A and B are shown apart, each in its own frame.
Chain A
Amino acid sequence: MSPPDHIVTTEAYQVSAATPVSPSSSPDPARPADAEPLLQVKDLRVSYATEDGAVRAVDGISYELGRGRTLGIVGESGSGKTVAALSVLGLTRAEGAEVGGCIEFEGRDLLALDERELRTVRGNEIAMVFQDPLSSLHPLYRVGAQIVEAIRAHQDMTKAKARARTIELLDLVGIPDPAKRVDAYPHEMSGGQRQRAMIAMALANDPKLLIADEPTTALDVTVQAQILALLSELQQERGMALVLVTHDLGVVADMADDIAVMYAGEIVESAPAERVFAAPEHPYTWGLLRSIPTLDGPREELLTPIPGSPPSPLAPPPGCRFHPRCPYAQPEHARTNPELLSTPGQPDHRVACLLEPETRRGLWRELA
């Protein structure tokens, strides 16, 4: 696989002027929409040196994200989706990962920035919400103080002002009685409230991009929907772009404009959300879709799990990484690793599969 090839094919992802950005966030509504995407990831590679050898957590992924748009990155645990998200903010650096490729944010390559420059981006232009709000908040500091700290890291503001702003933010994310809760410790809040507080912290400096890594996985099912609704609402109000990393296609179904499906460190399919659900072309995506339970389907209908388990990142299988689990794999699929290529007639729908497009479409029609 030669990296430059699939960079060329990424144009399809660009957001046109037709995507409206909410007026509240753009001071000049007459400003011409940027032709350049907000975030452009090119051939991102992240590997860790372990005792058993190098682990390629992310192996050459590329994607683009326009202002105010939502990208869902979907994959099983171990697919590299979280590492891919953390790398945008350079948060894998501290863990000694080797990061290659290019992450352009508003035309600047984030990977080329030094720590000091990167700090001005972190929590300011790009903010992050993590999976487990309990472990992600410092247990020994009050929630308000942690948000005040985030504000003051980027804005020259008195403590009193930052505190007032923090109360506003807590109110914005729907925490009742924010003037009182601002002094609560993380352990004194419910899981949902903690995640709301994390979101408030992420919004503290009006980021242009919010990366949410499995933001609802650690929460109760009833709270999950509330948090997603909150994220979606805030995004629309503020015209933020959102990268939503999840293992659950259901989570991104309503929210994402585009979806990228990751498998074993690679993107195997990426397309506008409607297309992923209506006409997916990768057998792995089919597997993910068929393992989502539906309420309106017949009760006797069994969910179809994907056989086998994800490959070891230490020794991914040769050829197409999904071939050992793919019911349609041919012997030659063990030799060539497919490139992510546009599918005929759909320039913004890209699939990394060795099956012929016609064959894939036929198979999906049979399955669906």
Chain B
Amino acid sequence: MTRYVVRRILWGVLLLILVSALTFVLFRILPTAEPARLRAGRNASPRVIAELRVDLGLNKPLITQFWLYMRGLFLHGDLGYSYTSGASVRSLIFDRLPATLSLTIGSAIIWMAIGLPIGIVSALRRRTRTDRASMGVALLFISAPEYWLGLIVLYLFAADIGRVKVFPGAGAYAGLTADPWKWFTSLILPWLVLAAGFAAVYARLMRGSLIETLGQDYIRTARAKGLPERQVVLRHGVRAAITPILTIFALDVGVLLGGAVLIETVFEIPGIGRLNYDAITHADFPIIQGTVLLAAVFIIVANILIDIAYAYLDPRVRYS
């Protein structure tokens, strides 16, 4: 097991280097604005731009730039400096991480708490009105783009522009340590909007997985033992049906921790996604590179964690 985990981590590191190389190449090759020109401000002379290119190291060959970046990263954990503000990318990311963490974790709790029970009830009442209604609503939420949904709820419920002024609107985010109450209330709408689509997906996943599980022979055995139906469903059915869903859950959380770009933008939450979005509009390459790397780290870590968790969730799984 330990050997397996170590091997997975080493592979993960290799993968991260590959991801970095790919982002490096992609953003340099693709036609994008010249970062030096953006940095230099309006009507800058070619000489200023050329000097800036030297300052930012953009005049060096691509491979050298990559080597310097990797060396800084591995030796000092240095992710470089923003082209536009000159701030350290690492500190920028750490500043923004709490907001993204708050958004993701809160939303994940909500979508699991809503989606899974709906899925279970739908599976048990298959082809009834309850099932059709909940699956229909689920489909609606899956189809609704989250930025659209975000704008709708802001229009309806935001304290500033809303029809019914209930929740703080966009840009109300405050850090958890700074103002816990404001942190909580400002995240209610983003949590719900982000959770809506996922809850719908997870309800459908849970329904499908449970229906399949309930057809298994061991469910018949559980009934033949004389267990109450509730126990048959929860202890025998759901327990088995939920394992594949947890894999997807880990990946989804991993992806979101890399930044929920749309939600963070609509609600003006200063998270990783928002950071990334701003960096892209400014061709701020070091930040893009940093956030992409961070997202990759989260996804790889989520993958390794779920594989480890699987060994505990399913005794048949053994790593060697």
Contact = CB atoms under 8 A, between A and B. Distances in A.
A201 B218 CA distance: 13
A136 B220 CA distance: 8
Nearest to A90: B223
Contacts of B236: 138
Contacts of B220: 86, 91, 94, 130, 136
B82 to A, nearest CB: 49
Given A185-B315, A185-B316, A136 B226 contact: no
A122 B224 contact: yes
Interface in B210-253: 216-218, 220-229, 236, 239-240, 243
Contact of A89 (B222, B224, B229): B224
B53 to A, nearest CB: 60
Nearest to A147: B225
B216 A123 contact: no
B223 A120 contact: no
A8 B223 CA distance: 33
A138 B221 contact: yes
Q: Which bucket holds chain B's interface residue count?
A: 20 to 34
B225 A150 contact: yes
A119 B224 CA distance: 8
Contact of B315 (A121, A132, A187, A198): A187
A183 B257 CA distance: 39
Contacts of A187: 315-316
B224 A123 contact: yes
B226 A121 contact: yes
Contacts of A119: 226-228
Contacts of B226: 119-124, 150, 153-154
A94 B221 CA distance: 12
A138 B315 contact: no
Instruction: Describe B's contact surface by its main secondary structure.
Output: helix
Contacts of A150: 225-226
Interface in A122-159: 122-124, 127-128, 130, 132, 135-140, 146, 149-150, 153-154
Contacts of A86: 220
Contacts of B216: 135
A115 interface: yes
B314 interface: yes
B320 to A, nearest CB: 15
Contacts of A153: 225-227
A135 B226 CA distance: 18
Contacts of A122: 223-226
Contacts of B227: 119, 123, 149, 153
Contact of B240 (A130, A139, A185): A139
Contacts of B224: 89, 91, 122-123, 127-128, 130
A122 B221 CA distance: 10
Contacts of B315: 139-140, 185, 187
A146 B235 CA distance: 11
Interface string B287-320: 0000000000000000000000000011110000
Nearest to B239: A140
A154 B316 CA distance: 29
Given A119-B228, A138-B236, A139-B316, A94 B223 contact: yes
B225 A149 contact: yes
Given A185-B315, A187-B315, A135 B228 contact: no
- Of B225, B314, B316, chain A has the most CB atoms within 10 Å of the CB of B225
Nearest to B216: A135
A105 to B, nearest CB: 14
Nearest to B126: A96
A153 B221 CA distance: 13
A138 B218 CA distance: 5
B209 to A, nearest CB: 14
Contacts of A146: 221
Nearest to A94: B223
29 contacts: A91-B223, A91-B224, A94-B220, A119-B226, A119-B227, A121-B226, A122-B226, A123-B225, A123-B226, A127-B224, A130-B224, A132-B217, A136-B220, A137-B218, A138-B218, A138-B221, A138-B240, A139-B314, A140-B243, A140-B314, A146-B221, A149-B225, A149-B227, A153-B225, A154-B226, A185-B315, A187-B316, A198-B221, A201-B225
Interface of A: 86, 89, 91, 94, 115, 119-124, 127-128, 130, 132, 135-140, 146, 149-150, 153-154, 185, 187, 198, 201
Nearest first, the 10 closest Cβ-Cβ pairs linking A and B are A122-B226, A123-B226, A123-B225, A135-B217, A138-B218, A150-B225, A136-B217, A128-B224, A185-B315, A119-B226
